[in-house]
């Protein structure tokens, strides 16, 4: 608009150009424009276009129709989900028909489609269980079960009707009608639900984790309602005992529905922040990124992407969520037991749809009072389930691997359910798979092998459907090739499912008025709005951790076992139970007594025996495990495997009397790899801060490994000392004896301590010993670094001569490597009571992080601290870690390590292998000086144990 002649309008024009969408109205641009137009003739085209532009701008300032209304009728969710779209209140309401997203244009005549049972047997029936490739647990799919049952509940008499709402309103907890809500509400003026109740009866026939999660949402609702009542932001809530019945119901109405808004909001935050991020693999990234469907998305200067306009789930997306192939082994067994309880010994292929519908309905109608419902064998105590029972269910589900999405992945027991799904999809007249893919903007499949490259699956589908265009949506989705486990794809479902569920997630959330235009602090209260909103900056840990870096103060803390205790005690108790003797926590006086006992019976009598043992064993294993290159001029070896084998033999032959398989002992119980795996399980669980998603599984593995090793140590202890039953003593004659470990066991027996305590202490010593592996590997790697070439040359020279000073100097090199490149850069302690160390005050219950890596660079203790100097006094090295050094003592550990290193550096021209094979493949946070150098093991679990490092040497 040519306003340049009006000089007063120029500042406003400039501001409008520079700050589009945030105009400074103090510059009066609109007013100048109106005056300018008023001075133009009525038929002037500029005046007419200008008026149109202004009217369009002003009209579009407001939503049409209004996005929201005032009053409880619009503030709170209706029990049946109605009214989400104010103009179309029945959109998405429970009890209304499913919608259709894609018309079926390509004909799929029912009389020409393959038999549903035959389809199941050929393409869907599980042949063998295959764990989920990304490691998703049964717990993930238990939560998915709640999400799916929130929006889908098909009426079996009229499959066109969806009996639940089309919104993620947590209907499995709250129900789909006022009657459902009345059955679970107290109506006592507090807004609370009855303890541990929920509305969804279908979940009672499913594995118990889903019901357990619903119980937690029930408890969260009651927590929120109680909090709302106590905070009482508006000052309107009163003691229910002082209210009339009418007033009590009115107060309960507000508290219940406000708590429901907040609880559903929390449910959505879990879906977006945990469930969806896990499915996309975003939890593995160091990023707070998540899809935010609620954000304002401008599409032009005056229009925005619609939101809060309601939703209606479609039959195509109902089919999308039949994820039966993800059923874990344990959940499959659970389902088989349920079917056996309902149908007796009837085979899955003999159960009809009519029989299933009738008997499943009867099975969920055994108890009308929802306050008495039970599941998973759990029993109520005063109306509530025991916390430990719920925790056990969740722990088991988290530890249990889910199944992989795949053709022939659905358990046979679910045959009738899959047939019902296929039958319903045909009655709905849904589109074909290719039509659905076109609808999503995806390339249709031209061949069955493109759909699923497995020739057996593709051939079976081709025989049944003849052409890819005939492939039904239900079967096509379930048996489609799955996505690989890559960044951005952690769910590893079929390609079409993976794309479609993202669209569904966005539509379900962005279309919900209560999550968008009515997601306000006024509706949820200020506290509730904050409680239910996802905080992307929230740290992984809730506690405050103080950081300690001063060397002298760290020494005081580490040496003070009364006021500062390690964090290992609880983990040890979880793993080993009430057994005493696992002394590595070093929190109790008896821990130190047992450590001293081990030292006096194993190390003190040994002289230089163990130094020779480590040298000779390492040398022998190096020869056993090397392999020759084609030129026959060089050999290679995996130094991780070498040291793992050396230490496995050490703990088996010299400490625990463990039975190793070998050519001389083919009947042995374990290989060196078995021993390594079991001890790694225990060590990682006790000493390593494992990622939360792996903790339950690792705890289970550690406990099993602990039980196995304790049993074998007990056998050796009894055999060495002539204990146990006659049968046990006779059976012991058939096992190869390790005389060194038996002698050690006899010395332990003579101490007079309880046998259980001794056996557990031996296991503790074995676990501590395996710290040798990562430490020795890191030391070798450290001195093979080209920047340490000078010291490498000297180490080689020291290792190949017999000078008396050589062992001591090599020990100096061990200490320097441990100081400059420690296995653990820090350690933590729990404060037992209020205490002051130096200038720092610590409160009881707080955590202290001890930056030992920084302390080992203290120039007062180590002049020129960044330089390698093997001649430094040995007594300067006082911060060598909690495990190995504390258990066996610095002198023993460093001298035996030096002996093992000597065997390695004797090899001619020992060096790292070329390329990635010669690189220690781990990771460390460069921005966190206290972070540890870690590795990913074969289970993709973070561990301090390296996995492989190839070295070369000349023949």
What is the pLDDT confidence band of residue 538, given thresholds at 50, 70 and 90? very low
- How far CA 461 is from CA of 119, 120, 495, 803, in Å, comes to 9, 11, 17, 76
Output DSSP code: residue 63.
Answer: -
Cα–Cα distance list, 670 to 476, 710, 760, 897, 948 (Å): 46, 14, 19, 25, 21
CA angle in degrees (0–180, nearest 5) for 535-541-543: 110
Quote the crossing angle between the two packed helices 387-399 and 138-151, to the nearest 10°. 110
Strand partners, 950: 638
| Confidence (pLDDT) at 295 | 67
689 and 829 part of one domain: yes
369 with 93: CB under 8 angstroms?
Answer: no
Higher pLDDT, 423 or 305: 423
What is the structure's pLDDT at 675? 92
Q: Is residue 855 over pLDDT 80?
A: no
Q: What is the mean pLDDT of residues 451-462?
A: 96
Asked if 203 and 375 count as a contact pair (C-beta separation under 8 A), the reply is: yes
| Same structural domain, 831 and 775 | yes
Whether 518 contacts 308, CB under 8 Å: yes
Residues 393 and 521 placed together within one structural domain of the fold: yes
Cβ(587)–Cβ(564) under 8 Å?
A: no
Cβ atoms of 849 and 548 closer than 8 Å: yes
| CA-derived radius of gyration, the chain | 35
Does residue 650 contact residue 613 with C-beta atoms inside 8 Å? yes
Q: How far, in Å, CA of 815 to CA of 574, rounded?
A: 34
Nearest Cα neighbor of 945 from 564, 608, 586, 681 is 681
Bridge partners of 410?
125
**What whole-number distance in Å separates Cα of residue 891 and Cα of residue 881?**
14
Cα distance between residue 454 and residue 81, in whole Å:
43
pLDDT above 90: percentage of residues in the chain:
49
Query: Is there a single domain that holds both residue 793 and residue 717?
Result: yes
730-733 contacts: CB < 8 A, separation 24 or more?
none
Nearest to 688 by CA among 696, 680, 697: 680
3-state helix, strand, coil in the chain (%, to 5): 55, 5, 40
Q: What is the pLDDT of residues 418-440, one digit of tens each?
A: 999 999 999 999 999 999 999 99
Are 520 and 633 found together in one domain? no
What pLDDT is stored for residue 548 in this prediction?
39
CA distance 684 to 575: 12
Tell me the C-alpha to C-alpha distance, in Å, between residue 421 and each of 427, 430, 442.
10, 12, 24
581-585 average pLDDT score: 78
Give yes or no for a contact between 878 and 819, defined as CB atoms under 8 angstroms apart: no
Portion of the chain with pLDDT greater than 70, in percent = 85
The answer on 126 and 38 residing in a single domain is no
Give the total residue count for the chain. 955
Whether 321 is catalytic is: yes
Q: List the structure tokens of 589.
A: 């006086």
Among 65-69, 613-617, 744-748, which stretch is predicted with the lowest mean pLDDT?
Answer: 65-69
Give the mean pLDDT of the chain: 84
Number of domain units in the chain? 3
Q: How many CA atoms lie within 13 A of 803 on its CB side?
A: 13
- Note whether 758 and 816 are same-domain residues: yes
Q: 499 with 571, same domain? A: no
Query: What is the domain extent for residue 566?
Result: 550-909
CA torsion, ordered 197, 200, 205, 206, to nearest 10 deg: -90
Question: Mean pLDDT lowest for which of 18-27, 221-230, 751-760, 934-943?
Answer: 934-943
The pair of three-digit structure tokens given for residue 29, joined into one six-digit string: 């641009």
Residues 137, 46 share a domain: no
Q: According to the model, what pLDDT value does residue 832 have?
A: 67
For the domain that residue 162 is a member of, what is the CATH number? 1.10.640.10
Assess if residue 196 is contained within a domain.
yes
Rounded CA separation 687/575 (Å): 12
* Cβ atoms of 376 and 199 closer than 8 Å: no
| Residue among 754, 777, 764 nearest 651 (CA) | 764
Residue 947 lies in a domain: no
| Mean local confidence (pLDDT), 623-643 | 91
Tokens linked to 762: 């031996």
Q: Which of 141, 954, 2 is nearest to 491 (CA)?
A: 141
Q: Return the number of other C-beta atoms located less than 10 Å from residue 817's C-beta.
A: 24
265 and 403: one domain?
A: yes
Cα 117 from chain centre: 37
Beta bridge partners of 831: 564
Bigger pLDDT: 575 vs 612 = 612
Is the pLDDT score of 748 beyond 80? yes
User: Distance between CA 524 and CA 531 in Å, rounded?
Assistant: 9
- Contact yes or no for 910/953 (Cβ under 8 A): yes
Question: How many CB atoms are closer than 10 A to CB 643?
Answer: 27
Read off the pLDDT of each residue in 488-498 and give the average, rounded to a whole number: 90
Which of 876, 891, 909 is a domain's end point?
A: 909
- Active-site residue, from 167, 229, 275, 321: 321
Rounded Cα distance, 853 and 761, in Å: 29
Q: What are the C-alpha distances in Å from 311 to residues 81, 158, 176?
A: 10, 21, 16
For residue 288, what pLDDT band results from cuts at 50, 70 and 90? Answer: low
Last residue within a domain, chosen from 909, 926, 941: 909
Q: What are phi and psi of 934, to 5 degrees?
A: -125, 170
Strand 847-850 and strand 942-943: pairing? unpaired
Q: Determine which of 28-32, 40-44, 315-319, 914-918 has the lowest per-residue pLDDT on average.
A: 28-32
Residues paired with residue 837 on neighbouring β-strands, in sequence order: 840
- Top mean pLDDT of 357-361, 419-423, 542-546, 583-587 is at 419-423
For residue 757, give the CATH number of its domain.
1.10.630.10
Looking at residue 648, its pLDDT comes to: 93
Q: What pLDDT band is residue 547 in, cutting at 50, 70 and 90?
A: very low
- Which residues 6+ apart lie within 8 Å of 646 measured at CB? 614, 617, 618, 621, 772, 900
Q: Is 539 a domain residue?
A: no
H helices present in 651-752, as ranges = 672-687, 692-720, 726-732, 739-749
Q: Is 197 inside a domain boundary?
A: yes
Query: In the structure, what pLDDT confidence band is assigned to residue 291 with cuts at 50, 70 and 90?
Result: low
Closest residue by Cα to residue 675 from 683, 686, 664, 666: 683
Residue 538: inside a domain: no
380 has which bridge partners?
385
What is the pLDDT at residue 543?
23
Residue in 251, 248, 260 with CA at minimum distance from that of residue 224: 260
| 177-186, 727-736, 799-808, 809-818: least confident range | 727-736
Q: Is the pLDDT at 693 greater than 50, yes or no?
A: no
Is residue 569 domain-shared with residue 686, that is, in the same domain?
A: yes
pTM of the entire predicted model: 0.57
Is 144 inside any structural domain?
yes
Hey, CA dihedral for 813, 816, 822, 828, is it positive or negative? positive
What distance in Å separates the CA atoms of residue 874 and residue 482, rounded to the nearest whole number? 58
The closest alpha carbon to 642, from 668, 614, 664, belongs to 614
Mutual angle of helices 639-650 and 672-687, in 10-degree steps: 90
**Residue 303 resides in a domain:** yes
512 and 568 both lie in a single domain = no
Q: Is position 688 within any domain?
A: yes
Q: What is the largest CA-CA distance in the chain?
A: 119
CA nearest to 610, candidates 362, 899, 934: 899
Alpha-helix residue ranges (DSSP H) falling in 375-469? 387-399, 415-428, 433-439, 448-451, 455-465
Cα angle for residues 713, 715, 721 (degrees, 5° grid): 100
Alpha carbon separation from 237 to 230, 242, 524, 694, 762 (Å, rounded):
9, 11, 15, 44, 62
């Amino acid at each position: 608009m040519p306003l340049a002649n009006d000089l007063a309008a120029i500042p406003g024009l400039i501001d409008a150009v520079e700050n589009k969408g945030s105009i400074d109205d103090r510059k009066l641009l609109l007013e100048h424009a109106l005056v300018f137009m008023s001075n133009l003739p009525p038929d002037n085209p500029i005046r007419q276009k200008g008026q149109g532009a202004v009217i369009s701008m002003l009209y579009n300032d407001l939503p049409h129709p209004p996005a929201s209304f005032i009053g409880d009728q619009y503030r709170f969710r209706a029990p049946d989900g109605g009214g989400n779209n104010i103009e179309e209140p029945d959109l998405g309401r429970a009890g209304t028909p499913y919608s259709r997203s894609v018309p079926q244009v390509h004909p799929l005549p029912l009389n020409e489609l393959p038999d549903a049972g035959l389809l199941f047997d050929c393409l869907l029936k599980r042949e063998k269980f295959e764990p989920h490739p990304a490691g998703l647990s049964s717990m993930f799919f238990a939560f998915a079960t709640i999400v799916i049952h929130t929006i889908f509940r098909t009426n079996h008499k009229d499959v066109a009707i969806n009996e639940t709402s089309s919104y993620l309103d947590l209907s499995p907890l709250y129900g789909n009608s006022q009657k459902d809500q009345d059955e679970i509400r107290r109506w006592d003026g507090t807004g609370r639900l009855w303890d541990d109740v929920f509305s969804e009866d279908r979940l009672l026939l499913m594995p118990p984790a889903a019901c357990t999660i619903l119980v937690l949402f029930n408890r969260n609702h009651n927590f929120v309602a109680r909090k709302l009542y106590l905070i009482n932001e508006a000052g309107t809530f009163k003691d229910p005992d002082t209210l009339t019945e009418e007033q009590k119901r009115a107060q309960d109405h507000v508290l219940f529905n406000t708590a429901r808004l907040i609880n559903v909001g929390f449910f959505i935050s879990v879906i977006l922040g945990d469930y969806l991020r896990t499915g996309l693999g975003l939890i593995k990234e160091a990023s707070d990124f998540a899809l935010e469907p609620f954000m304002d998305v401008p599409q032009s200067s005056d229009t925005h992407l619609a939101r809060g306009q309601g939703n209606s789930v479609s039959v195509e997306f109902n089919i999308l969520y039949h994820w039966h192939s993800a059923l874990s082994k344990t959940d499959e067994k659970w389902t088989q037991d349920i079917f056996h309880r309902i149908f007796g010994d009837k085979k899955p292929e003999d159960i009809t749809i009519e029989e299933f519908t009738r008997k499943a309905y009867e099975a969920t109608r055994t108890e009308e009072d929802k306050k008495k419902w039970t599941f998973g064998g759990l029993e109520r105590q005063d109306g509530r389930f025991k916390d430990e029972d719920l925790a056990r269910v969740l722990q088991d589900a988290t530890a249990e691997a889910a199944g992989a999405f795949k053709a022939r992945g659905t358990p046979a027991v679910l045959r009738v359910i899959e047939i019902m799904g296929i039958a319903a999809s045909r009655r709905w007249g849904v589109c074909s798979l290719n039509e659905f893919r076109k609808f999503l903007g995806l390339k249709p499949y031209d061949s069955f092998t493109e759909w699923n490259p497995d020739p057996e699956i593709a051939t079976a589908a081709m025989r049944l459907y003849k052409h890819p265009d005939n492939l039904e949506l239900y079967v096509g989705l379930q048996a489609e090739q799955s996505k690989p486990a890559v960044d951005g794809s952690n769910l590893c479902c079929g390609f079409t499912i993976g794309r479609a569920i993202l669209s569904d997630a966005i539509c379900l959330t962005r279309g919900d008025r209560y999550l968008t235009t009515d997601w306000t602090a006024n509706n949820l209260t200020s506290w509730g709005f904050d409680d239910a909103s996802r905080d992307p900056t929230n740290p992984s840990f809730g506690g405050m951790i103080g950081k300690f870096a001063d060397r002298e103060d760290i020494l005081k803390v580490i040496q003070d076992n009364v006021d500062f205790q390690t964090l290992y005690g609880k983990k040890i108790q979880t793993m080993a139970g009430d057994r005493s003797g696992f002394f590595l926590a070093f929190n109790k006086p008896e821990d130190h007594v047992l450590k001293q006992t081990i030292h006096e019976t194993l190390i003190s009598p040994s002289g230089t025996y163990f130094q020779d043992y480590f040298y000779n064993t390492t040398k022998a294993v190096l020869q056993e495990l090397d392999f020759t290159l084609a030129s026959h001029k060089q050999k290679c070896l995996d130094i991780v495997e070498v040291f793992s084998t050396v230490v496995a033999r050490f703990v088996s032959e010299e400490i625990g009397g463990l039975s190793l398989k070998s050519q001389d002992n083919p009947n042995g119980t374990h290989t060196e790899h078995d021993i390594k795996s079991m001890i790694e399980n225990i060590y990682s669980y006790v000493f390593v801060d494992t990622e939360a998603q792996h903790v339950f599984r690792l705890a289970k593995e550690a406990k099993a490994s602990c039980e196995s090793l304790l049993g074998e140590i007990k056998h050796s202890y009894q055999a060495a000392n002539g204990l146990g039953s006659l049968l046990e003593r006779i059976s012991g004659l058939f096992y190869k004896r390790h005389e060194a470990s038996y002698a050690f066991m006899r010395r332990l027996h003579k101490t007079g301590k309880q046998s259980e305590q001794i056996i557990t202490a031996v296991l503790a010593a074995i676990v501590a010993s395996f710290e040798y592996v990562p430490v020795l590997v890191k030391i070798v790697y450290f001195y093979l670094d080209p920047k340490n070439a000078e010291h490498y040359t000297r180490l080689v020279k020291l290792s190949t001569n017999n000078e008396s000073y050589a062992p001591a100097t090599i020990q100096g090199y061990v200490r320097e490597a441990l100081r400059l490149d420690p296995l653990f850069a820090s350690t933590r302690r729990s404060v037992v009571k209020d205490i002051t160390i130096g200038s720092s005050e610590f409160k009881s219950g707080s955590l202290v992080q001890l930056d030992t890596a920084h302390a080992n660079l203290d120039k007062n203790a180590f002049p020129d601290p960044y330089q390698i100097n093997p001649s430094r006094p040995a007594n300067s090295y006082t911060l060598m870690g909690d495990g190995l050094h504390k258990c066996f003592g610095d002198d023993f550990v460093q001298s035996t390590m030096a002996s093992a290193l000597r065997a390695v550096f004797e090899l001619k021209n020992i060096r790292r292998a070329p390329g990635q094979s010669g690189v220690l493949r781990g990771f460390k946070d460069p921005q966190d000086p206290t972070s540890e150098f870690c590795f990913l093991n074969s289970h993709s679990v973070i561990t301090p144990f390296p996995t492989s490092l190839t070295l070369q040497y000349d023949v």
